[in-house]
Amino acid sequence: MSSHPSQIAAGAARDRLPVTLPRLAEMKRLGEPIVMVTAYDFPSARAAEEAGVDMVLIGDSGAMTVLGYPSTVPVELDELLVLARAVRRGLRTPFLVGDMPFGSYEVSDEQAITNAMRFVKEAGCDAIKLEGGGPASCARARAIIGAGIPVMGHVGLTPQTATALGGYRAQGRTAAAATRVAAGALALQEAGCFSIVFEAIPSDVAELLMRRIDVPVIGIGAGPATDGQVLVFHDLLGIREGLGARFVKRYANLQDEMVAGVSAFAGDVRSRDYPAPEHGYSIEAQELSSFRERLT
């Protein structure tokens, strides 16, 4: 089987300069919304590039969306690095962040730095993301930043530790819980994170917290007050079964389109309507006659 790459043209995307840390800080200062999506392979990276998004995350959500795991916990660093290298090959302008998977940074600062470096050296990531705002996560973030790698923090619903949080559910819905989310966000900022993800926390809590956060905040299920928004590629395009989380807005239903397309193909094959003459290659009559003679 062969595939011929198409030349995807989008003038606006081509004219954009690469997004940098100073640019992200400037966007926050100017109140320009920051657009972030996840990507897990070359085609999704090309879509993000041509759509002109500002940031791309190689999310550990790829464990579920493309690798078939039941949660983000089982995915290995080497598996995410394969996805990250494919995404890097498809991007030119968005700021690229690699998601540190569960078990790749919790043990020690040395482990965290070593694995963060792999995202940069082997996959060309501009930064990494890690979950949690507790003392251990903040210590790891500080160590990685000290090694020269930018770190994005993540508070609220942290899928890698969802079991300890009572499952995939919104966080910060009581004063005490909201205070814990705030403490984690402020600690990550103090540790030097260049940006923080707020996931699945009440909109009013996020709005109040924004007054205390000086770095760009990317929301997912955290309301409109954050500096930007992120959605999982497969969620926003409907490349999945089920409705997804409350905060997901579907902008397409590609799963249905893919099923319909494959079903149509299967039907054409079984009815022998495919391939038709126009899908085949020809050979000159003289060459065919010569070939026939060689077979006898």
Q: What is the DSSP string of 34-80?
A: EEEEE--SHHHHHHHHHHT-SEEEE-TTHHHHTS--SSSTT--HHHH
Domain assignment present for residue 283? The answer is: no
- Among 98, 143, 147, smallest CA distance to 125 is for 98
Model confidence pLDDT, tens digit, residues 61-71: 999 999 999 99
103 burial via Cβ count (<10 Å: 0-12, 13-18, 19+): middle
Residue 225, both tokens: 């007050």
Determine the pLDDT at residue 249: 92
Domain assignment present for residue 142? The answer is: yes
Mean pLDDT of 257-280: 97
State yes or no: pLDDT of 169 exceeds 90. Answer: no
Confidence of residue 245 (pLDDT cuts 50, 70, 90): confident
Query: Looking at this protein, which amino acid is placed at residue 157?
Result: L
Residue 84, both tokens: 């990250």
163 burial via Cβ count (<10 Å: 0-12, 13-18, 19+): exposed
Q: What is the domain-level CATH number for residue 133?
A: 3.20.20.60
State yes or no: pLDDT of 6 exceeds 50. Answer: no
Model confidence pLDDT, tens digit, residues 77-105: 999 999 999 999 999 999 999 999 999 99
Which residues touch 65 (CB under 8 Å, ≥6 apart)?
38, 40, 232, 233, 234, 239, 240
Domain assignment present for residue 271? The answer is: no
Domain assignment present for residue 290? The answer is: no
Please indicate, yes or no, whether the overall pTM of this predicted structure exceeds 0.85: yes
Residue burial 282-291, b: 16+ Cβ < 10 Å; e: rest: eeeeeeeeee
**What element of type H or E holds 195?**
strand 195-199
Confidence of residue 195 (pLDDT cuts 50, 70, 90): very high
Domain assignment present for residue 53? The answer is: yes
Domain assignment present for residue 268? The answer is: no
State yes or no: pLDDT of 210 exceeds 80. Answer: yes
Q: Which residues are catalytic?
A: 199
State yes or no: pLDDT of 13 exceeds 60. Answer: no
Determine the pLDDT at residue 158: 87
Model confidence pLDDT, tens digit, residues 46-84: 999 999 999 999 999 999 999 999 999 999 999 999 999
Confidence of residue 3 (pLDDT cuts 50, 70, 90): very low
Range from 160-164, 184-188, 252-256 carrying the lowest mean pLDDT: 160-164
Domain assignment present for residue 266? The answer is: no
Around Cβ 33, how many Cβ atoms within 10 Å?
Answer: 12
On the CB side of 285, CA atoms within 13 Å amount to 0
Range from 6-10, 20-24, 31-35, 41-45 carrying the lowest mean pLDDT: 6-10
At 91 the three-state DSSP class reads coil
Q: Higher pLDDT residue, 162 or 120? A: 120
Model confidence pLDDT, tens digit, residues 281-293: 999 999 999 999 9
How many domains in the chain? 1
What is the C-alpha radius of gyration for the chain, rounded to an integer number of angstroms? Answer: 23
Query: Is the peptide bond preceding residue 135 cis, with omega within 30 degrees of 0?
Result: no
Confidence of residue 163 (pLDDT cuts 50, 70, 90): low
Structural domain boundaries, residue 134:
13-257
Sign of CA dihedral 74, 76, 77, 81: negative
Determine the pLDDT at residue 5: 41
Domain assignment present for residue 270? The answer is: no
Q: Percent of the chain, pLDDT > 90?
A: 86
